[in-house]
Amino acid sequence: MEIGIIGLPQSGKTTIFNAATRGLAQVASYASAPNIGVAKVPDQRLDILTEIFNPKKTISAEITYVDIPASPEGLGKNQGISGEYLNMLQRSDALLLVVRAFDNPAVPHILDSIDPSRDIENLMYELTFVDLEILDRRISRISDGLKSAGGTDREILNREMQFLHTLKSELEQGTHIRDRAMSEAESRLLSGFQLLTGKPLIVVVNVDEEQLGEVSQIESELDNEVAGDKVRVAVLCGELEMDLAQMDETEDMEFRESLGIVLESGLKKMIRLSYSVLDLISFLTVGEDEVRAWPITRGTVAQKAAGKIHTDLERGFIRGEVVSYKDLRECGSLSDARKKGLLRQEGKEYVVRDGDIMHVLFNI
């Protein structure tokens, strides 16, 4: 899973990237290439399973964060998003939008004043403009195609045209694609468009240390402002979290206590919100070679989950041997779980649950 980080210049998006990935990317006003970092998802279940199986290696689930460089066209100035910058945004599974609430005269805001709500609105407009341009281009191509289409093809194109005009009208009125109920057919139709307002969104307000006492209040206000099923909000002190991310967990906790703050680390908060907004869970595989967590979308069936491990397992899927983490932990071994009837045989359409331990039987 890949999350693209965007924001206005001087918003601290690279600082937030470093906090989320333990990265050391240079914090500068302009970069021509993206920073790419991987965050390992903390999972205590892996620690217990490693004790049970003593594998050669233990592999955590991962989330990739991409700190996308500022658009040469001028993000936030209503000049559009295009080229490789747009391609990077479209490849992302979700977007993380950073706005600043900190005031630093040495780092002036590009709009000369601090207003997180205004910045969120401006960035949302930019994403909407991109989607409107994409829809306009497709509508234009359909219009050209209708000139020579007939019969069933004409009927299909007319239905698509009507649907896209409806989407365009809703976007112009401020309804983002992510907030719209979609039928399965509509979702399939839009999947190739990679519309930006259809992507799950995390909004992060970057504050300074003096504002830490206001975190709950700011988050509550932000929740009301940008609420949605596929939107999550957070307030982080990016500079502090970037520094703490370089410490080990014990030092991190001690430093937070010395400051009198009891806050979830920026790294853990970003991972938690990323899993939540993408509706991810983890299933597990175990053995002497490795113990591993695999992130999948909630509701994924066993055959599709097997494909996360290897495409051959999905293609030749016969069945899965499944036991819950809780049951395996209590039994202490797969053999005991089997004796107690807790290791189940599940077919292709079994919906994998968070913490399921699955061994795939396949034949190709």
Q: Using N-to-C axis directions, what is the helix angle for 215-226 and 116-146, rounded to 10°?
A: 20
Average pLDDT over residues 169-192: 91
Is 78 a residue whose pLDDT tops 60?
A: no
Is 56 a residue whose pLDDT tops 90?
A: yes
| Cα distance between residue 344 and residue 338, in whole Å | 8
**Together in a domain, 113 and 67:** yes
Average pLDDT over residues 241-266: 83
Average pLDDT over residues 13-22: 92
Average pLDDT over residues 23-29: 77
**Together in a domain, 101 and 217:** yes
Per-residue pLDDT band at 133 (split at 50, 70, 90): very high
| Cα distance between residue 323 and residue 321, in whole Å | 7
Within-domain flag for 283: no
**Together in a domain, 154 and 211:** no
Between residues 364 and 80, the one the model is more confident about: 364
Is 214 a residue whose pLDDT tops 70?
A: yes
Residue 172: count other Cβ atoms within 10 Å of its Cβ.
10
**Together in a domain, 187 and 84:** no
**Together in a domain, 202 and 185:** no
CA 120 to chain centre: 18
Is 70 a residue whose pLDDT tops 80?
A: no
What local confidence, expressed as pLDDT, does residue 105 receive?
87
Residue 341 falls in which region: left (phi positive, over 0), alpha (psi -120 to 50) or beta: left
Q: What is the mean pLDDT of the chain?
A: 90
What local confidence, expressed as pLDDT, does residue 283 receive?
98
Within-domain flag for 46: no
The side-by-side arrangement of strands in the sheet containing 231-236 is 35-40, 62-67, 2-7, 94-100, 201-206, 231-236
* Amino acid letter for position 163: F
Query: Backbone phi, then psi, for 134, in 5-degree steps?
Result: -65, -45
CA 360 to chain centre: 27
Within-domain flag for 143: yes
Average pLDDT over residues 277-298: 97
What local confidence, expressed as pLDDT, does residue 19 receive?
92
For CA atoms 320, 322, 325, 331, give the dihedral sign. negative
Per-residue pLDDT band at 30 (split at 50, 70, 90): low
Per-residue pLDDT band at 40 (split at 50, 70, 90): very high
**Together in a domain, 178 and 202:** no
**Together in a domain, 77 and 96:** yes
29 near 73, Cβ under 8 Å? Answer: no
Residue 350: count other Cβ atoms within 10 Å of its Cβ.
19
Is 29 a residue whose pLDDT tops 70?
A: no
Domain count, the chain: 3
What local confidence, expressed as pLDDT, does residue 173 receive?
93
Per-residue pLDDT band at 225 (split at 50, 70, 90): confident
Torsion of the alpha carbons at 234, 240, 246 and 251, rounded to the nearest 10 = -100
**Together in a domain, 206 and 85:** yes
Average pLDDT over residues 229-234: 92
**Together in a domain, 254 and 187:** no
Written as six digits, the tokens of 52 are 């049970």
CA 354 to chain centre: 17
What local confidence, expressed as pLDDT, does residue 106 receive?
86
Within-domain flag for 19: yes
Determine which of 26-30, 168-172, 251-255 has the lowest per-residue pLDDT on average: 26-30
How many helices (DSSP H) and strands (DSSP E) are in the chain? 14, 12
- Indicate which CATH number applies to the domain containing 105: 3.40.50.300
| Cα distance between residue 194 and residue 183, in whole Å | 17
109 near 100, Cβ under 8 Å? Answer: yes
Given 277, 311, 327, the domain boundary residue is 277
Between residues 55 and 228, the one the model is more confident about: 55
176 near 254, Cβ under 8 Å? Answer: no
Is 362 a residue whose pLDDT tops 90?
A: yes
Within-domain flag for 114: yes
Given 153, 173, 192, the domain boundary residue is 192
**Together in a domain, 115 and 147:** no
Query: Backbone phi, then psi, for 44, in 5-degree steps?
Result: -65, -25
Query: How would you class 117 by CB atoms within 10 Å of its CB: exposed for 0-12, middle for 13-18, buried for 19 or more?
Result: middle
Within-domain flag for 288: no
Between residues 191 and 46, the one the model is more confident about: 46
| Cα distance between residue 5 and residue 35, in whole Å | 10
What local confidence, expressed as pLDDT, does residue 75 receive?
57
Within-domain flag for 49: no
pLDDT in tens, 323-347: 999 999 999 999 999 999 999 999 9
Between residues 41 and 148, the one the model is more confident about: 41
Domain carrying residue 257: 2-41+62-126+198-277
What local confidence, expressed as pLDDT, does residue 284 receive?
98
**Together in a domain, 70 and 182:** no
Is 110 a residue whose pLDDT tops 90?
A: no
Is 322 a residue whose pLDDT tops 70?
A: yes
What local confidence, expressed as pLDDT, does residue 79 receive?
52
**Together in a domain, 166 and 213:** no
Within-domain flag for 57: no
- Indicate which CATH number applies to the domain containing 319: 3.10.20.30
Given 173, 192, 211, the domain boundary residue is 192
